[in-house]
Chains A and B, each alone.
Chain A
Amino acid sequence: MSTTATADRPVTGRLIREHVLRESRRANVGHIGSALSIADIVAALYGGILRIADPADPERDRFILSKGHAALALYAALTLRGWISEDQLATYCGDDSLLGVHPESALAGVDFCTGSLGQGLPMAVGSALAARKSGSARRVFVLLSDAELNEGSTWEAVMFAAQHNLSNLTVFVDSNGQQALGYTKDVIAIDNTVERFAAFGWYAKAVDGHDVAALQAAVSAAGNDPRPRALVARTVFGRGVSYMQSQIKWHYMPMSAEEFAQAMDEVAAT
């Protein structure tokens, strides 16, 4: 296993989306819209924000993909960084693979197993607290779905992080306004997410979730603020593929050959 980043390989939203589409088609599985929604956030993280020279270094920044069902976007980024090979990526959803639908921490570059919603932020809080207590400069980033804000455990962790001023913790909320069976406005409306985090004592800002430079700048802009940070990233579910965008069914549906061809054409044109 390579333990060094290949800095000459860019990590872009377009390259992540192409991997997502190819592997989803090959494995004939869904969760495509969710992965496309976070592609630019993951690109911002692995293309600049995260300080990870070596995924085995205990002093690396941590990243927790709390919405684990979008793991394919993470696997794509790990491939682009050179931590997993394209051959390994091609085992996605195969037998005896470390690349399942949800991330497994035995895989190089994955810090925590996720898949059950509402568990990522509590673990991230513990990880940030561990860094603080041990005097480490490492930081912790966690990506939540907006639907995950339905989970009470998320808010338990939000309150604890504020109480302990965990400024080394940054939450990205993938605010695409959708959940598995419907639009958030029709299920549990949470359109004032920035205000909610701010009310709980967090540094909270809205950011364009498809603008990599803006996402990276939003992390820097928090500066030395003593509070934990919530960056509510406005995103479009299925971003980059016209027929998937904001369509509930693409939470679960796999693509046909024709749909795949169209999707690849559209993403290549971005």
Chain B
Amino acid sequence: MRSTLARTLAELGRADPRILLLTADLGFMALEPFSDALPDQFINVGVAEQNMVGIATGLAEGGYIPFLYSIAPFASLRPYEFIRNGPVLHHLPVRIVGVGAGFEYGHAGPTHHGIDDAAALRPQAGLTIVTPADHLQMRSALLATWDHDGPVYYRIGKDEKTTIPGLDGRFRTGRAEIVREGRDCAFVTMGAIAADVCAAADALEERGISATVAVVATFNPSPVEDIAALAAEHRLIVSVEAHSVNGGLGSLVAEAIAETGAGSRLVRLGVRTPPDARSGSQRFYHDLHGLGRDAIVERVLSLVARTPA
């Protein structure tokens, strides 16, 4: 997604010189499509994420559309109060790109994992939070939101190949995209883990369980009505995210169900435990948190057997 972002942004930046790309000294072998093509619109601010957001606030007040790039926790949590008091408070078109959503920087360890950025940023009313599931949706989302009035946070991954079956790059602000329809349960997911959820749905189909899969690519504004509609049609809703369920997609879905009075059972799959000393690949972390395809399948099989019709 990040190379897609850099390429798409270069297309946009050639046509609109207001677009700038700032990085806090990250993006080797990722940002070159932009930095090589538009060197005058590219600034490495150094390892200074707070300053980067402050600079972007000043640039945006002066008429620019600055995109800021760093790894998800460094882009969101380190400069959090600068985001709050800068682009959000001033309602300015600053775009913050957090790469490495979930456990994509697996071996780098807990400092680099993007498992709480969306939850942390969600209380910032007026901040659009975009969480694409594949590179095609990344491109559509960027084309749809780059000139949005207010600030945007893009929570993205590194995978440039995998595509979500049935998504076809669709993106609508504030909506969930249904990529598969079924009767027995509905998965609600966000980010690149949607591919594993679709694989789990395939495996469940072979076991006689048909599942709907909905992809949430705008975490804020939240697709509350779409989630409520799913809850009205399915007795079991399963949220799946490579992120904390507390404050994350699991919380969002729970709120939507509770606030609309839908009666579905909700099961939230995601991160619930603190980091420990072990590190490993993205797959290792997904397995650790019960987010692997087989773990999802087994969980749903046990739930469907126990959830009354």
Contacts and interface: CB of A to CB of B under 8 A. Distances in A.
Contact of A125 (B46, B58, B64, B82): B58
B51 A122 contact: yes
B54 A123 contact: yes
Interface stretch (A6-14, A18-26, A127-135, A196-204): A127-135
Q: Is the interface of B mostly helix, strand, loop or mixed?
A: helix
Contacts of B60: 126
A62 to B, nearest CB: 8
Contacts of A123: 54-55, 57-58, 61, 86
Contacts of B89: 113
A223 interface: no
A146 interface: no
17 contacts: A58-B62, A111-B61, A112-B57, A116-B85, A118-B50, A121-B54, A122-B55, A123-B58, A126-B60, A127-B62, A130-B61, A134-B63, A140-B58, A152-B50, A156-B50, A156-B51, A157-B55
B90 interface: yes
B55 to A, nearest CB: 4
B53 A130 contact: no
Given A112-B57, A160-B55, A122 B50 contact: yes
Contacts of A127: 58-59, 61-62
Given A123-B86, A129-B59, 11 more contacts: A113-B89, A119-B82, A122-B51, A122-B82, A123-B54, A123-B55, A126-B58, A126-B61, A153-B48, A153-B54, A156-B51
B53 A131 contact: no
A125 B56 CA distance: 9
Interface string A150-178: 00110011011001000000000000000
A115 interface: yes
B258 interface: no
B63 A130 contact: yes
B201 to A, nearest CB: 46
Contacts of A152: 50
B85 A126 contact: no
A126 B62 contact: yes
B16 interface: no
Contact of B58 (A118, A124, A136, A163): A124
Given A122-B82, A125-B58, A112 B51 contact: no
Interface in B58-115: 58-64, 66, 81-82, 85-86, 89-90
Contact of A129 (B53, B58, B85, B90): B58
A156 B51 CA distance: 6
B interface residue count range (under 10 / 10 to 19 / 20 to 34 / 35 or more): 20 to 34
Contact of B90 (A113, A130, A131): A113
A131 B61 CA distance: 10
Contacts of B59: 126-127, 129-130, 133
A113 B66 CA distance: 19
A105 interface: yes
Nearest to A130: B62
A119 B85 contact: yes
A212 B50 CA distance: 34
A133 B45 CA distance: 15
Contacts of A130: 58-59, 61-64
A119 B58 contact: no
A134 B50 contact: no
Contact of A112 (B50, B63, B64, B90): B90
A264 B207 CA distance: 85
Residue of A105, A111, A112, A126 with most chain B CB atoms under a 10 A cut-off: A126
Contact of A126 (B46, B56, B81): B56
B48 A156 contact: yes
B63 A126 contact: no
A134 to B, nearest CB: 7
A125 B51 contact: yes
A186 to B, nearest CB: 27
B53 A122 contact: yes
Nearest to A140: B58
B20 to A, nearest CB: 8
Contacts of B51: 122, 125, 153, 156-157, 160
Nearest to A153: B50
Given A123-B54, A125-B55, A126-B54, A134 B85 contact: no
A112 B82 CA distance: 13
Contacts of B64: 130, 133
